[in-house]
A and B are shown apart, each in its own frame.
Chain A
Amino acid sequence: MDPRTSGLRAVSQYLKQSHERIFENNRKWVATKRQVDPDFFTKLAAGQKPEYLYIGCSDSRVPANEIMGLEAGEVFVHRNIANLVPTIDLNVMSVINYAVRHLQVKHIVVCGHYNCGGVQAALTPTDLGILNPWLRNIRDVYRLHEQELDGIKDDTARFNRLVELNVVESCRNIVKTAAVQQSYQDNQYPVVHGWVFDLKDGLLKDLHIDFEDMLKGIKKIYNLPTSATGSKDSC
């Protein structure tokens, strides 16, 4: 057998094992849940009523349910590269729309994390192909806060601050939606929060965004109090 074939066979064998491990783990998880509450899955089958929408980074080190200590059924989740909320991204806008209009979530959390590869890439003059247009949103965040960021001399401190400001701008883009503005006007929810997760100790930091204040500021330009078509599904 030539080395390439045997190498590929070894890889294939390894992949098979690591793949089977997943199903084994899944069975163990089901058994653990059932032990604590025999009706755990029966209840979930009846439907979902999550209080939270979590928008976070795809990064494997930041699993939403684990870091929030929440169970299956408690948090609706969207994760993309660098927890961005581009205003014309149909993907994230559909998630916000469904969570606010149909699930009536009470809180929307944007959670960034220090050492974010996406934010770091946006600070680097490297052409990353198809990733460029996505990551350019982070360069726009830099431009919006250029003066503050340029004033930070330490590279790590500036990187950390850009991670935080990227979360703030994602929150702002959520507040711009008709879904959030109209639901808040009618129900006093959802409230939008910004967090940053620290990989070094596993702790969440609340950026203490003043939601009322942010909403007031946004409404000056982005106010969308009623639908022109009578639709209750706008975003």
Chain B
Amino acid sequence: MTGSTDRFTAALERNKEWAAKVSKEQPELFPKLATGQQPEILWIGCSDSRCPETSLLGLNPGDVFVHRNIANVLHAGDLSSGAVVEYAVRHLLVNHIVLCGHTSCGGVAAAMGNKQLGILDPWLMPLRQIREQNLALLQSLSPEKAMLKLVELNVQEGVKMLKQKNVVLEAIHERGLQVHALIYDVGSGVLRELHTDETEEAIKARLTSFKTDI
């Protein structure tokens, strides 16, 4: 295991180089960060190593609050992502929530297949539910296009779920919080926004069903 240990030591070495570089280029950054964080963006994305949010957004430490999990799936009852959204929206007052899916997602590929995967199965359940609801459409597409379609549908479904959270609903209506659906293309590095236009009727139905008061 010496080889791996060397690589590990190398990561710690690179951190020293990074810290020295940042201190030189932006001498005020670390002292400022030590006093607190005021990120404008909450990023919810995939754990996939090819999707490093702060780098691909061209932003600095302090700019993006982050939750990353397998296939950027949101479960209504997941306490982990629930705590992240609550903290980011209610306490940090972020102005944007970005939910970002990506091409060649392993979790989405797994949900398009039919192999048992142990504990990953319950986690990927929402993806299979979307697959079931859109089965005819997905089966009419080539495997590659069907995968991308499921990536997009998953993000749209996730945005819907975010907007059903009371803390998010309130912030949208009281201070203009925006929720965005993005797709990242790992083959080109480019982000694109999905349009999630809604009818007045859909917005009204959501408010009626999900808006709650203390």
Residues of A in contact with B (beta carbons under 8 Å apart): 8, 11-12, 15, 18-19, 22-23, 25-30, 33-34, 40-42, 44-45, 47-48, 50-52, 58-81, 84, 89-95, 97-99, 101-102, 106-107, 115, 117-118, 129-131, 133-135, 188-189, 191, 193, 199-204, 206, 231, 233-235
Contacts and interface: CB of A to CB of B under 8 A. Distances in A.
Nearest to A51: B7
Interface of B: 1, 4-5, 7-8, 11-12, 14-19, 22-23, 30-31, 33-34, 37, 39-41, 47-59, 61-70, 75, 78-84, 86-88, 91, 95-96, 103-104, 106-107, 116-120, 122-123, 175-176, 178, 180, 186-191, 193
Contact of B15 (A26, A69, A99, A106): A69
15 contacts: A26-B191, A34-B189, A45-B186, A48-B50, A50-B49, A52-B11, A58-B84, A60-B62, A60-B63, A66-B18, A80-B80, A90-B122, A118-B87, A131-B87, A201-B19
Q: Which residue of B104, B118, B178 has the most chain A CB atoms within 10 A of its CB atom?
A: B118
Contacts of A80: 67, 80-81, 83-84
Contact of B57 (A22, A76, A133): A22
Nearest to B15: A204
Given A25-B59, A94-B70, A106-B4, A60 B11 contact: no
A206 B10 CA distance: 13
Nearest to B174: A8
Given A30-B188, A91-B81, A95-B70, A77 B14 contact: no
Given A30-B190, A58-B67, A107-B4, A90 B123 contact: yes
A131 B86 CA distance: 7
B69 A94 contact: yes
Contacts of B57: 22, 25-26, 29
Given A15-B95, A60-B61, A233-B120, A78 B69 contact: yes
Contact of A68 (B15, B37, B47, B67): B15
Q: Give the 5 A-B residue pairs with the shortest CB-CB distance, closest first.
A: A233-B118, A69-B14, A25-B58, A202-B19, A45-B187
